[in-house]
């Protein structure tokens, strides 16, 4: 059991990758209960995602490369959170590029996010006696097969570690090993969230991510490209549900430290595309192309542990999540980054 540092008013929480898609939603949600320190180097995220949070005194953005060792005492802007005395109580490490279209250019970023940044953030957790969550991915399970499409936390996947995707897929596996090793050596309360495909507002547009690209093409009346065949399927979990799962995992006991977070319902991408066409009243058609390197087949999560321990299930219906994502895209489609 970790000793707790006294908290003066609110707990201090660090979110790396806080200006990204998931990170910005997490920062927004955490402001209800904490001082939020958002750390991001903006190399593959956008300040626009957190612009509305900058006005809050309980929120502070630090532009910093988290692959480098970090000492929060070096930032005078954090004096208002009494960091020198209180430290930080929670760390969410979400920083990692996930751009399918720019994957080749971001390989070294992925490698560093899953190695150097792991050590930097875990060292910060040790120094501060902070609880810690690493945002891992379902890719650690490897490719699903017809016989094995549902993955539980005990499953050990096979990943092609020398493939073009190795820096991400094997990187996530090594990152999980970092979490496990720090638990063993330092006894910190560090956890792993294996996140399956998430979607929602603030996903980068025109970045090779399926849902935003589907919506952008539908709004423009252009063909919607499915990178695969008509049977290509994914589970899709709305961002609010993912954030709720992360918060519940952070607050659960130390003995539960690896949990799947995602939807256990498979959706054919062609059906999702048709749903978006209908919802946007578009004249677009669906076309099929060869898969991108970054887009691989994924299974679905066994949510038994999430349901039993976290009391968590995804609640947002696909239609409702898509409507919010479409509304966001309409409002922001001219501001592509």
Active site residue 199: no
Q: Is the Cβ–Cβ distance between 22 and 261 less than 8 Å? A: no
User: Residues 132, 141, 168, 199: which is the catalytic one?
Assistant: 168
Give me the residues paired with residue 286 across strands.
224
Strands (E), the chain: 11-16, 34-40, 59-63, 90-93, 131-137, 150-151, 190-195, 198-199, 224-227, 233-235, 237-238, 258-261, 266-268, 286-289, 300-301
Report DSSP state, residue 290. Answer: P
Q: Is the Cβ–Cβ distance between 89 and 130 less than 8 Å? A: yes
Give helix 166-186 / helix 116-128 axis angle, nearest 10°: 20
Separation of alpha carbons 206 and 211, rounded Å:
10
Separation of alpha carbons 136 and 305, rounded Å:
16
What residues are labeled active site? 168
């Amino acid at each position: 059991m970790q000793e707790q540092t006294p908290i003066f008013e609110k707990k201090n929480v660090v979110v790396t990758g806080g200006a990204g898609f998931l990170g910005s939603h997490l920062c927004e949600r955490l402001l209800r209960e904490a001082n939020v320190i958002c750390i991001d180097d903006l190399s593959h995220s956008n300040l626009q995602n957190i612009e509305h949070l900058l006005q809050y005194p309980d929120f502070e953005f630090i532009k910093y490369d988290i692959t480098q060792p970090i000492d929060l005492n070096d930032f005078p802007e954090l004096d208002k959170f009494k960091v020198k005395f209180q430290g930080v109580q929670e760390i969410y490490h979400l920083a990692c590029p996930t751009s399918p279209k720019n994957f080749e250019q971001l390989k070294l970023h992925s490698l560093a996010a899953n190695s150097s940044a792991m050590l930097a953030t875990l060292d910060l957790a040790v120094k501060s006696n902070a609880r810690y969550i690493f945002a891992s991915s379902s890719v650690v399970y490897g490719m699903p097969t017809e016989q094995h499409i549902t993955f539980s936390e005990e499953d050990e996947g096979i990943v092609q570690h020398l493939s073009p995707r190795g820096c991400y897929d094997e990187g996530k596996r090594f990152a999980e090993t970092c979490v496990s090793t720090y638990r063993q050596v330092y006894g910190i309360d560090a956890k792993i969230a294996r996140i399956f495909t998430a979607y929602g507002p603030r996903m980068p547009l025109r970045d090779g991510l399926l849902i935003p690209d589907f919506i952008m093409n539908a709004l423009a009346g252009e063909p919607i490209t499915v990178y695969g065949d008509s049977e290509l399927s994914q589970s899709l979990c709305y961002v609010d549900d993912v954030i709720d799962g992360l918060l519940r995992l952070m607050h659960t006991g130390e003995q539960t430290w690896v949990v799947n977070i995602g939807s256990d319902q498979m959706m054919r991408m062609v059906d999702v595309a048709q749903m978006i066409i209908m919802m946007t009243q578009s004249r677009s058609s669906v076309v099929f192309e060869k898969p991108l390197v970054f887009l691989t087949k994924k299974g679905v999560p066994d949510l038994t542990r999430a349901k039993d321990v976290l009391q968590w299930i995804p609640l947002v219906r696909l239609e409702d999540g898509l409507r919010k994502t479409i509304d966001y895209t309409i409002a922001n489609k001219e501001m592509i980054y």
